[in-house]
Amino acid sequence: MLRLPDAWIWDFWFAREGDTHHLYFLRASRALGDPDRRHFRASVGHAVSTDLRTWTQLADALVPADRPAFDDIATWTGSVLPGPDGRWHMFYTGAGSTERALVQRIGLATSTDLVTWERHPAAPVLTAAGRWYERLGDSTWQDEAWRDPWVFADPDGDGWHMLITARANEGPVDDRGVIAHARSHDLVHWEAQPPVTAPGSGFGHLEVPQVEIVDGRPILLFSCLHDQLAERCRDARACGVWAVPGDSLLGPFDAAKAQRLTDDSLYSGRLVRDNDGRWQLLAFLHHDEEGRFVGELSDPVPVRVLPDGTVLLGDAEPGTPYSVHGRRDVAPDPAQAGDRTQADTVAAGA
């Protein structure tokens, strides 16, 4: 578990170097008071661990750029992977002041040691493509959704793929959420492709996508808040982390059949292998039992996938969302959280 006494933690992603897991996470000062203000004060924090439970905090990896820039207000969710040139590549979301943070673009930074990051001169490397995807002003939606890049190597060695939180440019406004797709042969130049999910699946957006092969099945993971669901689905669905199997890492994925893995106590889940090779899910602690925002990183929860594609978390029964409510080994008691020091949850870092 990772709790920072001075900052909220929410979306995150991993890189692995040997037995060390590098955690990159969105953080914003608790001094803001209202956690809803955190989105436009977001930097990318950094911590390391060998067991996915005890974390050593390092210096922040990335902060908003000087103005004017496409990412001068906030740096949001992304992913990290090694490139063919020996450098690590971090793809992230940038929000800038020119459009009052209403337009999202994909940025790129590189590093030789996973600690010190430099923005690539080509950034931003990808913006929303109007052929398939909604742009700002195409509908009454509040922003141009083009964020949360999940980048992975093509299984056949033919370049790289990027999955992106996006919206289709057709259909009911509250039901256009899709996972966009882009391709590259050098990790710098990207070309948008058709989405790997279809609009009309009941989601206004599908956030923080990830694809992995777990127990032999390609699985798409994503999250959605209750008020971002299509209105027709809000009575039957709720906030949480979702999963759906597909035919390959590029789907197609039928998001309308997605399984809700967690309740609203967890959000923005990520699949990661522990050092024994077992799949685990981590998420950020979202709401406590009183509905208050928490903003901490959970401990890992074991994951397995049944032959029919059903994803099981921990001891949750099939069809029952996993919850940390009532599990004090996973979710700290809110009444005691203010009394804990950083040393209780984070080892002394550089």
**pLDDT over 70, % of the chain:** 93
Q: For the whole model, what pTM was predicted?
A: 0.93
* pLDDT band for position 342 (cuts 50, 70, 90): very low
Residue 250 is predicted with a pLDDT of: 97
Question: What does the DSSP assignment read for 99-157?
Answer: TTT-BEEEEEEEESSSSS-EE-TT-S-B---TTTB--TTSSS-SSB-EEEEEEEE-TTS
Compute the distance between CA of residue 256 and CA of residue 249 in angstroms, rounded to an integer: 18
Lowest mean pLDDT among 1-5, 54-58, 316-320: 316-320
Q: What is the chain's mean pLDDT, rounded? A: 93
Query: Is pLDDT above 80 for 248?
Result: yes
Average pLDDT over residues 111-117: 98
Query: Is pLDDT above 90 for 294?
Result: yes
Residue 130 is predicted with a pLDDT of: 84
* pLDDT band for position 84 (cuts 50, 70, 90): very high
* pLDDT band for position 236 (cuts 50, 70, 90): confident
Tell me the β-bridge partners of 262.
322
* pLDDT band for position 340 (cuts 50, 70, 90): very low
Evaluate the CA torsion angle 159, 160, 161, 162 in order and state its sign: negative
Locate all alpha helices (DSSP H) within 20-60, ordered by sequence: none
* pLDDT band for position 10 (cuts 50, 70, 90): very high
Residue 269 is predicted with a pLDDT of: 98
Residue 333 is predicted with a pLDDT of: 47
Stretch (H or E) spanning 163:
strand 160-167
Average pLDDT over residues 287-296: 95
* pLDDT band for position 218 (cuts 50, 70, 90): very high
Query: Is pLDDT above 60 for 266?
Result: yes
Lowest mean pLDDT among 49-63, 201-215, 254-268, 310-324: 310-324
Residue 169 is predicted with a pLDDT of: 97
**Phi and psi dihedrals of 41, rounded to 5?**
-135, 25
Q: What is the pLDDT of residues 295-334, one digit of tens each?
A: 999 999 999 999 999 999 999 888 899 999 876 555 454 4
